[in-house]
Amino acid sequence: MLLVATLFIFSLFAAQLLRIQGFDAQSVSAQALKSRLHTSSVPAQRGSIVDANGTVLAASLDRVNIVGDATATVVYKKRVDGQVRTVGLAGAATDIANAVGVQPQPILTALQQAEKKGSQFTYLAKNVTPAQWKAVQDLQIPGISSEASSERDYPQGTSLAPLLGWIDASGQPGGGVEQLEQKALNGKPGKHVYEQAPDGTTIASGDNKDTPAVDGKNVQLTIDNDLQWYSQNALAEAVKKAGALSGEIVVMDPKQNLKAVASYPSFDNNNIASAGSSDLQSRPFTDAYEPGSTGKIITMSALLQEGKATPASPVVVPPTLTRAGTTFHDAEVHGTENLTLAGVLAQSSNIGTMLAGSKLPSSTIYEYMQKFGLGQTSGIGFPGESDGVLTPFQKWSDTQKYTVLFGQGVAATGIQEASIFATIANGGVKEPTKLVSGIGTGNDFTKPADDRSSQRVVSSSVATQITKMMEGVVSGDGTAKAALVPGYSIAGKTGTANRYDPKLGRYDGYTASFIGFAPASNPRYIVAVTLQRPTKGSIYGGDVAAPVFSQVMSYALKNGGVPPSGKQATPYPLTFQPEKSRKP
């Protein structure tokens, strides 16, 4: 009997053994492995943004969020005066605060509230450095753990903030290059799979499998950081001095590589919470405004290219001119003047430009505006970039047909305006505007693909003539002597436009600008300075913007090691003697 019972029991054992080791072997071992296996995410680092010389403009830093489980922290015990005592939440908060170097009260409050609710997950401190976390970790407080995080550092602060954009609390890019190059900058997180013993230590002989994180790529811009800061600083001072609403500066080379894109007021992208919502945008990209007299360059180029005029063509400018029921004036009251086409540009006569420009049909003017890049974005793809306002010539009103000749009734961005002058500086060939010069890992950058191509807008001889006419603007009789840079020849054009205020829905104040390039004979830099609604002192581009141009241009030339090119070229005659030039 006993034997039977024994055999029966042992056969049960055998059957169970067979089941576990034989039939269910796989699922049981899988279950066991699952209880040991742990997976942790390996964060990928976001790529850096650097300037043309490799200076860091934006970089990601490893940070740690300290997380607390208040229900576990309550039993925190600590040796005080040789005796082990339960110091609880208050003790934990004090110790953590000391280790991190912050006030203990907010941490204690967070813990107490979490405990009341029975919550096992509360953030106690966000974005502390790994070193600070290590100090907290060494305290071995129960229920305190960490969460990997990262923080974006912008060493240049306000000088580049609108151009670079920012990273919000959830790690998503907001505006600027951060958003433009998100695909390249953003990395792919990896996975670390390992076997863990019940006490939390890694089992040395266990299965380890790593999928490494793929870090984001670095992005190099065409921007020169020193020039950028200098421009931003000069702009900040000019805007304050002129009591202007805002200001912008664009610096590029004739190949249209952007060297500086300044926008003021700016914000600090290290501390996005403090930023004003209207300051987040890079105005040269996003704000379109009526350029005013700088737009005369398009009319002059079209006239010369179409063979309708030469720089010496006579234009008799009356004091006022009535067209389409509107009476037009020039900025300064004058009698009838005998100006050449060069003189019309140098003295920025609206009436003269209208008289000369009316030799061209609207369709031709429109065609040149398009060729110079108005009505379309630069193609960079900058977030929120405006394409300006260029209505088709068929829809132009009767007055608009005349006002577009001197840059009113049409709106352009700072980038578009600078691009027009860069086209002239580049011998009449319009290169695509570039902001990103390379994408790569480490310091090994490759040029990003670009399907835009360069286009000839005017012949090189027309470009040379326009340049010489613009040198007249900066000469003794021109509107912008303040733009001069001693030792260099400057070509440029002032602009003082009626400013349309979208908030008010009407014209309010003026847009004062100066755009030019130097050295005129062999252009290296194009600088465009625009101030919106200056209120203190003068409102004219020649008084408000030209001095800023001079400052920024002289720094750019010095910084770029450009040798002095000598004085201004002798300008075309600005006036003519009526008897001599009267046609037979």
Partner 1 sequence: MSQLTALPRPTAKSTRLPKRAATTTSRPSLRVVQHQDAAEHSGVGFVLLCVFLLVGGLIALLLLNTSRAQQSFAIDKLQAKSANLTDQQQAISSQLDDLAAPQQLALRAQQLGLEPAKNVKYVRKADGKVLGVAKASGAQSAFTVGTLPSTPASRAADATTSAASLGLVITKPKPATKDPKAAAKSDSKNAKNAKKDKTTSGKSAATSPAKSAASTKQQTEKKTGNADKAKATSTSTPKPTTTR
**Which positions from 545 through 574 interact with partner 1, judged by CB under 8 A?**
554, 558, 563-564
State in angstroms the smallest separation of the CB of 257 from partner 1: 20
Quote the DSSP letter at residue 292.
G
Between 86 and 397, CB nearer to partner 1: 397
Considering only 71, 112, 233, 377, the residue that binds partner 1 (CB under 8 A) is 233
Backbone Cα Rg of the chain: 34
State in angstroms the smallest separation of the CB of 164 from partner 1: 13
Site for partner 1 contains 225 (CB under 8 A): yes
Q: In whole angstroms, what is the distance from residue 28 CA to residue 32 CA?
A: 6
Between 126 and 308, CB nearer to partner 1: 126
Between 19 and 240, CB nearer to partner 1: 240
Q: How many residues bind partner 1 (CB under 8 A)?
A: 86
Residues of this chain, 500-529, that bind partner 1 according to CB under 8 A: 500-502, 506-507
Give first-to-last CA distance, the chain, whole Å.
145
State in angstroms the smallest separation of the CB of 221 from partner 1: 15
Q: In whole angstroms, what is the distance from residue 280 CA to residue 271 CA?
A: 12
Between 165 and 472, CB nearer to partner 1: 165
Per-residue x/- mask for partner 1, residues 182 to 221, rule CB under 8 A? --------------------x-xx----------------
Pair of tokens at residue 64: 């740690």
Residues of this chain, 11-70, that bind partner 1 according to CB under 8 A: 55-56, 59, 61-62
- SS3 of 383-408: CCCCCCECCCHHHCCCCHHHHHHHCC
The length of the chain is 584
State in angstroms the smallest separation of the CB of 156 from partner 1: 5
Best CA proximity match to 486, nearest among 565, 556, 572, 569 = 565
Distance of CA 260 to the CA centre of its chain: 10
* Alpha-carbon distances of 256 from 218, 291, 402, rounded to whole Å: 22, 19, 30
Between 208 and 454, CB nearer to partner 1: 208
Q: Which residues partner with 40 through β-bridges?
A: 192
Residues of this chain, 392-421, that bind partner 1 according to CB under 8 A: 396-397, 399-400, 403, 408-411
The piece of 293-301, 311-319, 453-461, 495-503 that touches partner 1 (CB under 8 A) is: 495-503
Residues of this chain, 296-335, that bind partner 1 according to CB under 8 A: 326, 328-329
Burial of 199 (0-12, 13-18, 19+ CB in 10 A): exposed
Quote the DSSP letter at residue 380.
S
Residue with tokens 């919106």: 532
Best CA proximity match to 60, nearest among 251, 270, 319, 261 = 270
In order, the DSSP letters of 242-284 are: HT-SEEEEEEE-TT-BEEEEEEES---TTSGGG--GGGSS-HH
Phi, psi of 412 (to 5 degrees): -140, 160
State in angstroms the smallest separation of the CB of 64 from partner 1: 10
Site for partner 1 contains 155 (CB under 8 A): yes
Between 278 and 460, CB nearer to partner 1: 278
Considering only 43, 427, 440, 487, the residue that binds partner 1 (CB under 8 A) is 487
Between 391 and 464, CB nearer to partner 1: 391
Per-residue x/- mask for partner 1, residues 87 to 106, rule CB under 8 A? -------------xxx----
Residue 576, C-beta contacts closer than 8 angstroms, at least 6 positions apart? 312, 314, 338, 339, 340, 343
Pair of tokens at residue 159: 């000088």
The piece of 2-10, 213-221, 368-376, 389-397 that touches partner 1 (CB under 8 A) is: 389-397
State in angstroms the smallest separation of the CB of 205 from partner 1: 7
State in angstroms the smallest separation of the CB of 208 from partner 1: 10
Site for partner 1 contains 477 (CB under 8 A): no
Between 19 and 329, CB nearer to partner 1: 329
